[in-house]
Amino acid sequence: MSLTTIRKVIASALLLLASSAVWAETFVFTAIPDEDETKLIERFRGVADYLSEQLNVEVRYIPVKSYAAAVSAFRNNQVQLAWFGGLSGVQARRLVPGSEALAQGVEDQAFQTYFIANTSTGIAPAQDLKELTDSLRGKTFTFGSKGSTSGRLMPEFFLRQAFGTSPEDVFDRVGFSGNHTRTLRLVEAGTYQVGALNFQVWQKELEDGNIDESAVRVIWQTPPYPDYQWTIRGDVDQRFGEGFKAKVRQALLDLDDPELLKSFPRSGFVPASNDDYEPIRETAEAIGILD
């Protein structure tokens, strides 16, 4: 075999190895830990299997311990796709130029927060939060995670609007539960008298028979706002091939497995854009959460 032939064989082998390495690369995603970890792992392993089949690449879900950790993983390119809340998505896209909101749940176009109270408080439901100012003042109150749109950002915005001051000046004690499910349990148990959680978690727990309605009730519902969305890094086409971002978007929009959708819970996904979340960015800046 001539030297030229050997060189050609080596070059072909190297090219094949490089090509295999590209296609063998794993597409990784995460999600904000808005519920307990067991539920999240079950939900997103199913999503990983679905995306792997649709995209023809290995797809892996990795859980994180906090909203901030989800944003950090996205920023550091440990994950290329994330299921964010409105605020965490805004934070992530600010840190990674070129990243895009791809899709949101049908219900995320008009999301809501429920204010709940332990029934021992005697607080009755109201249509206007200002009707509850006297009843709420001096109570104990828990948000969800500090980085949650529905569990912190929007409820704090409406509280400041109603009281004209910060929650710390209104309540006897203010806490952060870490996720919506835990907020529900803390208020149900009376550990906190009042709390804020996203309406989807309340409705799903109610449907599943996991709420003691003699112990906790909804006392107020916020006006609607945009919330959860899938956000992808802007460099995925360079890493996974031209048109990959568009394929991911289409795969998310085509997701119609009833069991997977029920686990979110969402009825489906629709296109989203960064502009949809400008109200979230503006609200976060207005109350000092974003610089």
For residue range 54-87, what is the model confidence (pLDDT) as tens digits?
A: 999 999 999 999 999 999 999 999 999 999 999 9
The band of 147, judged by pLDDT with boundaries at 50, 70 and 90, is confident
Residue 289, pLDDT score: 84
Does 40 have pLDDT greater than 50? yes
Kind and range of the H or E run holding 13:
helix 3-24
Number of domains the chain is built from:
2
Which tokens hold the place of 278?
Answer: 């400008």
Within 10 Å of residue 124's Cβ, how many Cβ atoms?
11
Contact 107, 119 (CB under 8 A): no
First to last CA, the chain: 66
Is residue 7 in some structural domain? no
| Separation in Å, CA 116 to CA 151, 160, 192, 221 | 12, 17, 10, 9
Contact 126, 219 (CB under 8 A): yes
Contact 20, 131 (CB under 8 A): no
Does 268 have pLDDT greater than 90? yes
Does 113 have pLDDT greater than 90? yes
Is residue 241 in some structural domain? yes
Q: Which of 220, 226, 230 is nearest to 195 (CA)?
A: 220
Q: What are φ and ψ of residue 215, in 5° steps?
A: -110, -25
pTM of the model: 0.77
Does 18 have pLDDT greater than 50? no
Residues 231 and 103 in one domain: yes
Is residue 13 in some structural domain? no
Residues 129 and 215 in one domain: yes
Q: Which of 130, 110, 93, 120 is nearest to 220 (CA)?
A: 130
Q: Cα 40 to chain center, whole Å?
A: 11
Residue 6, pLDDT score: 47
Residues 214 and 258 in one domain: no
Residues 104 and 246 in one domain: yes
Of 169, 193, 221, the position where a domain reaches its end is 221
Residues 76 and 136 in one domain: no
Is residue 5 in some structural domain? no
Average pLDDT of the residues in 157-161: 94
Average pLDDT of the residues in 211-222: 97
Amino acid at 218: V
Amino acid at 103: A
Residues 175 and 267 in one domain: no
> How many CA atoms lie less than 13 Å away from 237 in the CB half-sphere?
10
Strands ordered across the beta sheet of 81-84: 59-61, 27-31, 81-84, 229-232, 100-105, 269-271
Of 173, 196, 221, the position where a domain reaches its end is 221
Of 193, 221, 249, the position where a domain reaches its end is 221
Residue 12, pLDDT score: 47
The band of 167, judged by pLDDT with boundaries at 50, 70 and 90, is very high
Higher pLDDT, 284 or 188: 188
Residues 135 and 212 in one domain: yes
* Calpha distance 274→160 (Å, rounded): 26
Could you report the per-residue pLDDT of 219-267, keeping only the tens digit for each? 999 999 999 999 999 999 999 999 999 999 999 999 999 999 988 889 9
Residue 215, pLDDT score: 98
> Domain range for residue 159?
112-221
* Burial classification of residue 196, based on how many CB atoms lie within 10 Å of its CB (0-12 exposed, 13-18 middle, 19 or more buried): buried
Residues 103 and 232 in one domain: yes
Residues 134 and 105 in one domain: no
Contact 205, 110 (CB under 8 A): no
Residue 287, pLDDT score: 84
CATH number of domain containing 235: 3.40.190.10
Residues 234 and 103 in one domain: yes
Q: What is the mean pLDDT of the chain?
A: 90
Q: What are φ and ψ of residue 176, in 5° steps?
A: -130, 110
Residue 1, pLDDT score: 55
Residue 237, pLDDT score: 96
Is residue 10 in some structural domain? no
